[in-house]
Amino acid sequence: MSIQVQNLSKTYGTQKAIDAISFSAEPGKVLGFLGPNGAGKSTTMKILTCFIPQTSGTATVNGFDTVKEALQVRQQIGYLPESNALYPDLYIKEALTFIASVHKIHHPEKRIAEVIEETGLGPEQQKKIGQLSKGYKQRVGLAQAILHNPQVLILDEPTSGLDPNQLIGIRALIKELGKTKTVILSTHIMQEVEAVCDQVIIINKGKIVANETLAQLHQQHQNQSLEQIFIKLTH
Partner 1 sequence: MLTILQKEITSYLSSLVAYVTIGVFLLVLGLFLWVFPDTSILDYGYADLGNMFSTIPYLFMFLIPAITMRSLAEEKKEGTFELLATRPITDWQIVLGKYFACLLLVLLALLPTLVYVYSVHQLGNPIGNLDVGAVIGSYIGLFLLGGTFVAIGIFASSITKNQIIAFTLAVFMCFFMFSGFDSLSGLLSFQNSEIQNLGINEHYGAISRGVLDTRDLVYFLSMIGLFLLFTKTVLGGRKW
Q: Of 15-23, 94-102, 106-114, 173-181, which segment contacts partner 1 by CB under 8 A?
A: 94-102
Q: Does 98 bind partner 1 (CB under 8 A)?
A: yes
> Strands 182-186 and 152-156: what pairing?
parallel
Nearest to 82 by CA among 36, 47, 46: 46
Binder among 94, 163, 176, 227 for partner 1 (CB under 8 A): 94
CA distance 172 to 35: 23
Mark 137-166 with x for binding to partner 1 (rule: CB under 8 A) and - for no binding: -------x----------------------
Q: Does 111 bind partner 1 (CB under 8 A)?
A: no
> Reduced to 3 states, what is the DSSP secondary structure of residue 32?
strand
CA distance 60 to 79: 15
Min. distance of Cβ 99 from partner 1 in angstroms? 7
CA distance 149 to 77: 9
Residues between 30 and 89 with contacts to partner 1, criterion CB under 8 A: 46, 49-53, 71-72, 74-75, 77, 79, 81, 83, 85-87, 89
222 in the Ramachandran plot: left (φ > 0), alpha (ψ -120 to 50) or beta?
left
The site for partner 1, by CB under 8 A, has a size of 26
> Strands 152-156 and 3-12: what pairing?
unpaired
What residue ranges bind partner 1 (CB under 8 A)? Answer: 46, 49-53, 71-72, 74-75, 77, 79, 81, 83, 85-87, 89-90, 94, 98-99, 101-103, 144
